[in-house]
Amino acid sequence: MMNEGLHMNQALPLFVAIPLGAAFLIPILVRVWRRLPDIVGNLSTLSLLVMSLTLVGKGPSTYYMGGWRPPLGINLVADGLSVLLLVVVSLVAFCATLFSIPYMERYTSKSRYYSLFMLMVAGMNGVVLTGDMFNLYVFLEIASIASYALVAFGTEAEELEASFKYMIMGCVASTFVLFGVGVLYGKTGTLNMAHLAKIIDENGMSPAIWFAAALFLMGFGLKAAMVPFHAWLPDAHPSAPAPISAMLSGVLIKSLGIYSLARVSYIVFGMSKPISTIFMVLGGLSMIVGVLLAVGQWDMKRLFAYHSISQMGYVMLGLGLGTPLGILGGVFHLLNHSAFKSCLFLCSGAIEHEVGTRELKKMGGLWRRMPVTSTSCVISSLSISGVPPFNGFWSKLIIIVAAIQARHYVAATIAVVVAFLTLTSFTKVMRYAIFGSPAAESQKVKEAPALMGVALILLALCCTSFGLLYPVLKPLLLGPATDVLLRAGDYISLVLGG
């Protein structure tokens, strides 16, 4: 019997099937016509974006793989949090594929690039939709392996080195996750998240379950690049081609790291004092260490990568606070970060494409030569620094207010200080790259190709509008996502019925 509030959605497997199908069709289609990978790649991400937007505001839906109902079969669940992540992944993926059309021309074998890109999207969509622990691990590996290969896509010495480092860390993380899944299965005899949550809720946390929780914390923490597990990120993210950097920083660390960690700790284990304290400590550490390492950087993409660590710290802090406002702030910042960070990485790609360098000191005066890129770069820089009225300001404000309300004054102070340091760091970016006197390299540059501009404008519009659209976003996207984490018990009855 179908319970109230959860309806069947036959379209849910398409979120994995479309990119997976595209991934394997593209290498064949390129033999028909050289341009087909571009078209198929963009059409699939566009259809994913449209499909994910149709899920917004519809309430939770589900799909049973092969018709087997949970706890026996694998189920896909699109609840508020999953829908938010689906929208974020699809939005950034669409902008990145649009950007890739002109940008990836200088690499050979564009079809393989799209193929790996689509595999990564399929893996991420699977991770956010699945309601089964082992299925989560499989999709996590699909997305991760595609991303290892994409980081090394240029096959230059530095890229290979970064990819190897990333891959070793990633493999260790995946092994921890699989070990955790095994421990959970050994102790409870089930892999379904809702069923697991029910059993753990009834029997309490045993030492073995705590061991599994620690393994997941290490595994997903490594994927999310939380300090002290962050060492791979500043190498891997800048080494990838710009659209991939945008995907990695914009959505991969969120869906594989933060989302999975939140899903497992809130829904499966049930949030408890020790776990939320660990969340807050990791978040605070990441915020401080990330921003301090970022301030001294002169490589544009490396600087952005360090800021990803620091901004993910805000999300972790918000989630760790555990209050309705804190979680709302964390979820909102997750949405905002994906908009401004992918915009920043795409800007760096556009600049690298035209000026040919990533060194801040070799740029300068770009606003005259590249008005579209410069405008979006400035907008996203102001967003990440938390300048009103751009989106980053609102989510940081919510997190800081929530921290004060929960009487975590130290956390609130850290959040304020880090916001100022971020502003300092991005003032440097704007001062050297966009304004200031032109360096020799940037005397004769021209605006980036039109399609790159369209992707940049789209993301810059998101940065500007998300903050102002907050009254619209809250009931449609953010509220349902917050409720999922706040009322973990609802998930059990939603999926298992009764």
Partner 1 sequence: MIPYLFATAMLLIGLYAIVARRNLIKIVIGVAITEYAVNLFLILLGYRAGGIPPILSKGMDLNKFAANSVDPLPQALTVTSIVIGLGVIALLVALVLRLYEKYGTLDESEIKRLKG
Which spans of this chain sit near partner 1 (rule: CB under 8 A)?
A: 134, 137-138, 141, 145, 148-149, 152, 155-158, 160-164, 167-168, 171-172, 174-175, 178-179, 181-183, 185-186, 191, 208, 211, 234-235, 239
Q: Are 242 and 348 in contact (CB under 8 A)?
A: yes
Residues in the chain: 498
Tell me the C-alpha distance between 472 and 38, whole Å: 33
Residue 498, judged by CB atoms within 10 A of its CB (0-12, 13-18, 19+), counts as exposed
Q: Which is nearer to partner 1, 185 or 470 (CB)?
A: 185
Q: Which is nearer to partner 1, 105 or 156 (CB)?
A: 156
Tell me the C-alpha distance between 341 and 50, whole Å: 22
Q: Which is nearer to partner 1, 182 or 270 (CB)?
A: 182
Q: What is the CA radius of gyration of the chain?
A: 21
Q: How far is the CB of 177 from partner 1 (least distance, A)?
A: 9
Q: Which is nearer to partner 1, 15 or 148 (CB)?
A: 148
Terminal C-alpha separation, the chain = 10
Task: Say which DSSP state 364 is in.
Answer: -
Q: Amino acid identity of 379? A: I
Q: How far is the CB of 263 from partner 1 (least distance, A)?
A: 20
Q: How far is the CB of 8 from partner 1 (least distance, A)?
A: 26
Q: How far is the CB of 93 from partner 1 (least distance, A)?
A: 22
Hey, CA dihedral for 93, 167, 347, 35, is it positive or negative?
negative
Q: How far is the CB of 426 from partner 1 (least distance, A)?
A: 21
What is the bridge-based pairing of β-strands 75-78 and 61-64? antiparallel
Tell me the C-alpha distance between 18 and 41, whole Å: 10
Q: Which is nearer to partner 1, 333 or 358 (CB)?
A: 358
Measured in whole angstroms, how far is the alpha carbon of residue 309 from the centre of its chain? 12
Q: How far is the CB of 240 from partner 1 (least distance, A)?
A: 13
Longest dimension (CA), the chain: 71
Tell me the C-alpha distance between 75 and 158, whole Å: 41
Q: How far is the CB of 145 from partner 1 (least distance, A)?
A: 6
Q: Which is nearer to partner 1, 299 or 483 (CB)?
A: 299
- Helix, strand and coil content of the chain, in percent to the nearest 5, comes to 80, 5, 20
Q: How far is the CB of 413 from partner 1 (least distance, A)?
A: 28
Q: Which is nearer to partner 1, 235 or 352 (CB)?
A: 235
Q: Which is nearer to partner 1, 36 or 171 (CB)?
A: 171
Which token pair is 427? Answer: 């003032």
Q: How far is the CB of 389 from partner 1 (least distance, A)?
A: 36
Q: Which is nearer to partner 1, 289 or 316 (CB)?
A: 289
Q: How far is the CB of 171 from partner 1 (least distance, A)?
A: 5
Dump the DSSP string for 137-173.
HHHHHHHHHHHHHHHTTT--HHHHHHHHHHHHHHHHH
Dump the DSSP string for 430-455.
IIIIISSPPPGGGSS--PPPHHHHHH
Tell me the C-alpha distance between 490 and 484, whole Å: 8
Q: Which is nearer to partner 1, 160 or 288 (CB)?
A: 160
Single out the residue of 316, 264, 322 nearest to residue 290, CA to CA: 316
Q: Which is nearer to partner 1, 97 or 144 (CB)?
A: 144
Q: How far is the CB of 181 from partner 1 (least distance, A)?
A: 8
Which token pair is 149? Answer: 């290969």
Single out the residue of 145, 189, 185, 178 nearest to residue 163, CA to CA: 145
| Alpha-helix runs per DSSP H in 8-156 | 14-29, 36-55, 80-103, 110-129, 133-151
Q: Are 26 and 111 in contact (CB under 8 A)?
A: yes
Q: How far is the CB of 252 from partner 1 (least distance, A)?
A: 17
Place of tokens 């809720």: 201
Q: Which is nearer to partner 1, 94 or 306 (CB)?
A: 306
